[in-house]
Amino acid sequence: MFKYSDSNKRYYTLDYFYKHKFNSKVFKVSLNAGFTCPNKDGKVGIGGCIYCSKSGSGEYAGDIKKDLITQFQEVKEMMLKKWPNAKYIGYFQANTNTYAPLDKLKEKYETILKLDNVVGLNIATRPDSITEECLNYLEELSKRTYLTIELGLQTIHESTSKFINRCHTLECFEDMVKKLRERNINIVVHIINGLPYETKEMMIDTVKYLSNLDIQGIKIHMLSILKDTKLAEIYNDEKFKLITRDEYIDIVCDQLEYLREDIVVNRITGDPKISDLIEPDWLVKKVTILNDIDKEMARRNSYQGIRYQKKD
We report the CATH number of the domain holding residue 32 as 3.20.20.70
In this structure, is residue 222 part of a structural domain?
yes
Which residues are bridge partners to 69 per DSSP?
none
pLDDT in tens, the chain (312 residues): 889 999 999 999 999 999 999 999 999 999 999 999 988 888 888 888 989 877 555 556 678 889 999 999 998 888 888 888 899 999 999 899 999 999 999 999 999 999 999 999 999 999 999 999 999 999 999 999 999 999 999 999 999 999 999 989 999 999 999 999 999 999 999 999 999 999 999 999 999 999 999 999 999 999 999 999 999 999 999 989 999 999 999 999 999 999 999 999 999 998 888 889 999 999 999 999 999 999 999 999 999 999 999 887
Contact 36, 95 (CB under 8 A): yes
Q: How far apart are CA 186 and CA 6, in angstroms?
A: 24
Q: How far apart are CA 291 and CA 288, in angstroms?
A: 5
User: Order of strands, edge to edge, in the sheet holding 186-193?
Assistant: 26-31, 87-92, 118-125, 146-154, 186-193, 217-222, 264-267
Q: How far apart are CA 152 and CA 148, in angstroms?
A: 13
In this structure, is residue 91 part of a structural domain?
yes
Strands (E), the chain: 26-31, 87-92, 118-125, 146-154, 186-193, 217-222, 225-226, 264-267, 277-279
Contact 5, 16 (CB under 8 A): yes
In this structure, is residue 309 part of a structural domain?
no
In this structure, is residue 1 part of a structural domain?
no
- Residues in CB range of 232: below 8 A, 6 or more apart: 225, 226, 278
Q: How far apart are CA 254 and CA 247, in angstroms?
A: 11
Contact 13, 265 (CB under 8 A): yes
Answer whether the bond into residue 280 is a cis peptide, omega within 30°: yes
- Number of structural domains found in the chain: 1
Q: How far apart are CA 43 and CA 199, in angstroms?
A: 31
Burial of 199 (0-12, 13-18, 19+ CB in 10 A): exposed
86 SS3 class? coil
Q: How far apart are CA 279 and CA 127, in angstroms?
A: 28
In this structure, is residue 6 part of a structural domain?
no
Q: How far apart are CA 189 and CA 108, in angstroms?
A: 22
SS3 content of the chain, % helix, strand, coil (to 5): 40, 20, 45
In this structure, is residue 246 part of a structural domain?
yes
In this structure, is residue 151 part of a structural domain?
yes
In this structure, is residue 307 part of a structural domain?
no
pTM metric for this prediction: 0.95
- What is the domain range of residue 99? 14-300
Q: How far apart are CA 167 and CA 129, in angstroms?
A: 12
